[in-house]
C-alpha cells in the first residue's frame, strides 16, 4: 500500500482547540491546527508572542496589500511606474555607487601623494582594498551542473521560445532544472543574461497547461518592467550586503582581556556602519515594494493571457504544496527500499486532506501580507486574475508536446533525486 493511500485511510478523529475551543480534525499524518484562531499553524516556529512593533508591522502590511489589491481590481494590472518612492530608491542606489567611486578617487589620490609620504601611500592602498571589497557585485552564475541544453530538451526550449514570442520578450540564455520546489527568472553577468530556473518537484505536480502558466509567469518577469530587477537595483543591493558583511564586527564584546576591551569602541563604530548598510537595504526594498507587487500582479495577468485564467490560478495554488514535498522527501529518504520520489510526490499531493491544504494556504497568506515581501498574498493574486478572467488561452500545450516534455523531464529525475537525498 502506498504512503498516499495509507494517509487517506488513516483514522480521522477530532479534539478541541486549546485556545478557542473550536473542534479540530486530527489526522496523525499531518499537523493539527485551528482555522479559527491559527493555533499551531506553524508548529516549527517559535511560540514567542509578537512585539507591539511586529503587530503594527503586520497590520500595516495587510492594509497596504489590501489597498493595492483593491485599486488593481478596479483598474486591472499595469506596468510599474516611476513614482516618488522609486525615484528616491534610485537616488539612494546612485548615492551608494557614488560613495564607492568617491572612495576610489580618494584612495588613488592618496597613492599619488604617497610617493614621498609612506603613510599616505599605505592609507591609499588600504582604501583601494576597501573599494575592492565594497565594489558593485554583478550576479554571476557558477553552478553548471543543473544546466540543460536545447539538444537535450528540444520540446522544453521550443515551448519557451514560443511563449517568449507571445510575450514580446527576448530569448532565454540559460535554463536550469534543479531540486527546488520553485521556478524563477533571473539575470547574471556583465551582459545581463537571462536565466530561467525550473524546479523538477514543482513541475512534477503540475498539469500540462499549468506548466505553461508557470513558464509564462516567469518569462513575464523579463517584460513586466519591474525596476527592482534592474541592473542598478540588483548591483546596489549586492553592494550593500557586502558592506554589511564586511563591516559587521561579529561579537562586539569579544572577551574580558585588555585587547578585547580596547577594541569595543571600534567594534561599536563598525556595528553602527553595518546597521546603516542594513537599514539602506530595508529602505530600498520598502521603497520598491509597491512597484514590485504591481509587477508580480502583471506577471500573473500575462501568464493568464498565455495559459488561461483557470490554469494560472491552479498553478499558483500548487505553490502551497511545498510542505507536502518536504514530507514526501523525508519518507523516501527513510524508506527501506528505493522509491521514485516524483511518483511518490504525485501520490502525496493527490491524497492531501482539505484541512492541510487550508493550512498551507493560510501560512502563505500570513507571510505574504508583509511589506518586506515582494510577492503579494496568493489569495489576492488568484482573486485579481479571476476578477479579470481570460478563458481562452493564447497557447495550449498539445497532448504530443505534453508527452514529449514528460519524457524529457524523466531523464533528469535520477540526478535530481540523488541531489535531494544527498542534501538531507
- Is residue 189 located within the same domain as residue 307? yes
Strands 193-199 and 174-178: parallel
Residues 12 and 72 reside in one and the same domain:
no
What is the structure's pLDDT at 8? 46
Quote the CA–CA distance of 330 and 338 in Å, as a whole number: 13
Residues 75, 5 share a domain: no
129 is a domain residue = no
Does residue 224 contact residue 298 with C-beta atoms inside 8 Å?
Answer: yes
> Rounded to whole angstroms, how far apart are CA atoms 411 and 413?
6
Structural domain containing residue 2: 1-49
- Euclidean distance between CA atoms 111 and 56, whole angstroms: 51
In a domain, 103, yes or no: no
Whether 2 shows a pLDDT value over 70: the answer reads no
Residue 298: closest CA among 210, 306, 43: 306
Domain count, the chain: 2
Residues 374, 267 share a domain: yes
DSSP assignments along 225-276, one per residue: --GGGSHHHHHHHHHHHHHHHHH--S-SS--SSHHHHHHHHHHHHHHHHHHH
Residues 7, 73, single domain; the answer is no
Q: Are residues 70 and 33 part of one domain?
A: no
Rg (CA), the chain: 25
Contact 283, 373 (CB under 8 A): no
Q: What is the mean pLDDT of residues 29-43?
A: 83
Could you identify the residue written with the cell 592618496?
110
Q: Is 201 in the same domain as 343?
A: yes
Residue 101 within any structural domain of the chain: no
Is 117 part of a structural domain of the chain? Answer: no
Give CA separation, 275 vs 227, 271, 282, in Å.
25, 6, 11
Please tell me the distance from the alpha carbon of residue 71 to that of residue 81, in angstroms, as a whole number.
Answer: 15
Residue 252 sits in the same domain as residue 396: yes
User: pLDDT tens across 125-137, in order?
Assistant: 988 988 888 788 7
Q: Is the pLDDT of residue 56 over 70?
A: no
Whether 178 contacts 196, CB under 8 Å: no
- Whether 248 and 231 share a structural domain: yes
60: number of Cβ within 10 Å: 13
249-274: per-residue pLDDT in tens?
A: 877 776 666 666 777 788 888 889 99
Domain termination residue (choose one: 32, 49, 66): 49
Is residue 90 one of the residues assigned to a domain? no
Same domain, 44 and 141: no
Q: Are residues 45 and 143 in the same domain?
A: no
302 & 199 share domain: yes
C-alpha cell recorded at residue 3: 504512503
Read off the pTM: 0.81
Amino acid at each position: 500500500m502506498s504512503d498516499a493511500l495509507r494517509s487517506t485511510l488513516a483514522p480521522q478523529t477530532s479534539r478541541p482547540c486549546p485556545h478557542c475551543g473550536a473542534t479540530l480534525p486530527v489526522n496523525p499524518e499531518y499537523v493539527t491546527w485551528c482555522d479559527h484562531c491559527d493555533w499551531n499553524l506553524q508548529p516549527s516556529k517559535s511560540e514567542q508572542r509578537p512585539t507591539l512593533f511586529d503587530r503594527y508591522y503586520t497590520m500595516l502590511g495587510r492594509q497596504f496589500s489590501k489597498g493595492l489589491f483593491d485599486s488593481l481590481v478596479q483598474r486591472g494590472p499595469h506596468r510599474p511606474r516611476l513614482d516618488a518612492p522609486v525615484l528616491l530608491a534610485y537616488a539612494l542606489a546612485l548615492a551608494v555607487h557614488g560613495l564607492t567611486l568617491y572612495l576610489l578617487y580618494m584612495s588613488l589620490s592618496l597613492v599619488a601623494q604617497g610617493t614621498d609620504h609612506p603613510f599616505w601611500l599605505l592609507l591609499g592602498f588600504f582604501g583601494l582594498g576597501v573599494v575592492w571589497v565594497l565594489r558593485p557585485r554583478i550576479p554571476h552564475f557558477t553552478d553548471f551542473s543543473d544546466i540543460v541544453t536545447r539538444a537535450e530538451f528540444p520540446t522544453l526550449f521550443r515551448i519557451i521560445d514560443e511563449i517568449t514570442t507571445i510575450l514580446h520578450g527576448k530569448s532565454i540564455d540559460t535554463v536550469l532544472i534543479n531540486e527546488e520546489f520553485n521556478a524563477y527568472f533571473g539575470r547574471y553577468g556583465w551582459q545581463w543574461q537571462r536565466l530561467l530556473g525550473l524546479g523538477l518537484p514543482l513541475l512534477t505536480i503540475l498539469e500540462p497547461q499549468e506548466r505553461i502558466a508557470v513558464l509564462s509567469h516567469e518569462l513575464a518577469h523579463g517584460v513586466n518592467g519591474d525596476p527592482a530587477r534592474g541592473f542598478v537595483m540588483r548591483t546596489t543591493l549586492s553592494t550593500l550586503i557586502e558592506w554589511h558583511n564586511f563591516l559587521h564586527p561579529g561579537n562586539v564584546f569579544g572577551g574580558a582581556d585588555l585587547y578585547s576591551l580596547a577594541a569595543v569602541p571600534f567594534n561599536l563604530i563598525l556595528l553602527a556602519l553595518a546597521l546603516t548598510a542594513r537599514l539602506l537595504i530595508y529602505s530600498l526594498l520598502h521603497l520598491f515594494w509597491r512597484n514590485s507587487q504591481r509587477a508580480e500582479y502583471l506577471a500573473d495577468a500575462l501568464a493568464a493571457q498565455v495559459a488561461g485564467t483557470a490554469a494560472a490560478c491552479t498553478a499558483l495554488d500548487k505553490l502551497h504544496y511545498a510542505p507536502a514535498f518536504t514530507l514526501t522527501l523525508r519518507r523516501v529518504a527513510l524508506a527501506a527500499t528505493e522509491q521514485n520520489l516524483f511518483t511518490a510526490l504525485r501520490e502525496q499531493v493527490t491524497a492531501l486532506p482539505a484541512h492541510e491544504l487550508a493550512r498551507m494556504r493560510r501560512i502563505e497568506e500570513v507571510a505574504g501580507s508583509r511589506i518586506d515581501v515582494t510577492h503579494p498574498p496568493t489569495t489576492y493574486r488568484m482573486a485579481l486574475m479571476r476578477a479579470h478572467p481570460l478563458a481562452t488561452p493564447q497557447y495550449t500545450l498539445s497532448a504530443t508536446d505534453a508527452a514529449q516534455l514528460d519524457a524529457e523531464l524523466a531523464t533528469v529525475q535520477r540526478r535530481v533525486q540523488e541531489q535531494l537525498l544527498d542534501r538531507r
